[in-house]
Amino acid sequence: MAQNTKTSTVASEVEPRTVRAVERVFAALPASDGDGVKLNRIIGRPGLSELDPFLLLDEFRSDEAADYIGGFPDHPHRGFETVTYMLAGRMRHGDNQGNVGLLRPGSVQWMTAGRGIVHSEMPEQEDGLLQGFQLWVNLPAKDKMTAPRYQDIDPEKISTVDVDGVSVKVLAGEVGDVKGAVDTGATDPTYLDVHLPAGSAFVQPVSAGYNAFVYVYDGEAVIGVGANAKTLKRSEIGVLSDGEEIRVAAGAAPARLLIIAGKPLGEPVARYGPFVMNTMDEIRQAADDYMAGRF
């Protein structure tokens, strides 16, 4: 069951943690994918093609059916993981191995494509708001040909933590002693959905050396402290410097944002459409296997 736990984050009294600053800011770019689905592309675009281990981040948000009704018909993946987080609306997924499921508001699907899968993600609604995110997380070379698997996490299984009035949904990683519902792997990701009331602040420890970013999807938020603090507006991503904690705050109005961090793999990336491997030979093999029906 979801937990509503009162906790707080306390800085070390011995040696203060290094606060991360915003190094680069990018505004999300309008794009389309699937069968004409309109979305905002945040990672996987010019200027920010990837942020190891993260390969892509898309936001979809529209109450116009024409923007999403075509959905994402059957398409292949190999060599990485897709993470779909729904905020509003309903999406039905299915694959060539007989798996089916329903993504509804507040749910998460963490799909490990591994050696190959062909699946679809289609809206199960004809009107109303459809809103959410899809993140692509790379797999290390040793796991790229692992068996595909799904982790379908219902909203009731995602813990919501109250930190001094700030509401934090813990999809992956830890907030205080509360752990995320997703069983993560080599990239050890943190994935938090943070709701900041006006005038509030939140501090999240993160491992030094991990890559991290903040994406504001409603309102404005101040990232960092002092002279290094920077304000991010809605639909802006802030790529963060190295450090041991992330500090975010809201001004006179509430803000909602994602905090995402992960351990970089430091491996070569060969990428072509829905295939992400380590060499172009492996990419060509993936295309051959898909065309031959071996997924």
SS3 annotation, 171-231: EECEECCEECCCCCCCCCCEEEEEEECCCCEEEEECCCCCEEEEEEEECCEEECCHHHCEE
Read off the pLDDT of each residue in 13-18 and give the average, rounded to a whole number: 74
State percent of the chain over pLDDT 70.
95
Helices and strands per DSSP (H, E), number in the chain: 1, 27
Which is higher by pLDDT, 100 or 236? 236
Lay out the sheet containing 72-77: strands in order across. Answer: 72-77, 117-123, 91-95, 100-103
pLDDT band, residue 164 (cuts 50/70/90): very high
Read off the pLDDT of each residue in 195-220 and give the average, rounded to a whole number: 98
Which is higher by pLDDT, 14 or 130? 130
pLDDT of residue 11: 41
Minimal CA–CA distance to 127: which of 58, 217, 38, 67? 67
Separation between Cα atoms, residue 136 and residue 81, nearest integer Å: 6
Cα–Cα distances (Å) from 217 to 77, 154, 182, 211, 271, in that order, read 27, 22, 22, 20, 28
Q: Is the separation of the CB atoms in 33 and 72 below 8 Å?
A: yes
Separation between Cα atoms, residue 231 and residue 223, nearest integer Å: 6
Q: Where are the domains of the chain?
A: 17-267
Which is higher by pLDDT, 13 or 261? 261
Q: Range with the lowest mean pLDDT among 6-10, 69-73, 256-260?
A: 6-10
The three-state secondary structure class of 155 is: helix
Minimal CA–CA distance to 59: which of 246, 231, 236? 236
Separation between Cα atoms, residue 143 and residue 146, nearest integer Å: 5
Which is higher by pLDDT, 255 or 14? 255
Residue 72 confidence (pLDDT) above 60 = yes
Read off the pLDDT of each residue in 134-152 and give the average, rounded to a whole number: 96
Cα–Cα distances (Å) from 88 to 13, 29, 132, 239, in that order, read 41, 21, 7, 26
Residue 19 confidence (pLDDT) above 90 = yes
State percent of the chain over pLDDT 90.
91
CATH no., domain 17-267: 2.60.120.10
Minimal CA–CA distance to 255: which of 217, 203, 202? 217
pLDDT of residue 227: 92
pLDDT of residue 9: 47
pLDDT band, residue 97 (cuts 50/70/90): confident
Q: Angle at the Cα of 143 (from 139 to 144), degrees rounded to 5?
A: 65
Q: Is the separation of the CB atoms in 277 and 116 below 8 Å?
A: no
| β partners of residue 117 | 77
pLDDT of residue 183: 84
Q: Is the separation of the CB atoms in 250 and 196 below 8 Å?
A: yes
For the record, the structure tokens of 210 come out as 């991990």
Read off the pLDDT of each residue in 82-109 and give the average, rounded to a whole number: 95
Residue 21 confidence (pLDDT) above 70 = yes
pLDDT of residue 98: 87
Residues 6+ apart with CB under 8 A from 144: 78, 79, 80, 114, 115, 277, 278, 282
- 3, with CB counted inside 10 A (0-12, 13-18, 19+), is middle
Residue 13 confidence (pLDDT) above 80 = no
Residue 251 confidence (pLDDT) above 50 = yes
pLDDT of residue 14: 53
For the record, the structure tokens of 144 come out as 């790229």
pLDDT band, residue 16 (cuts 50/70/90): confident
Q: According to DSSP H, which parts of the chain are helical?
A: 280-291
Read off the pLDDT of each residue in 163-178 and give the average, rounded to a whole number: 97
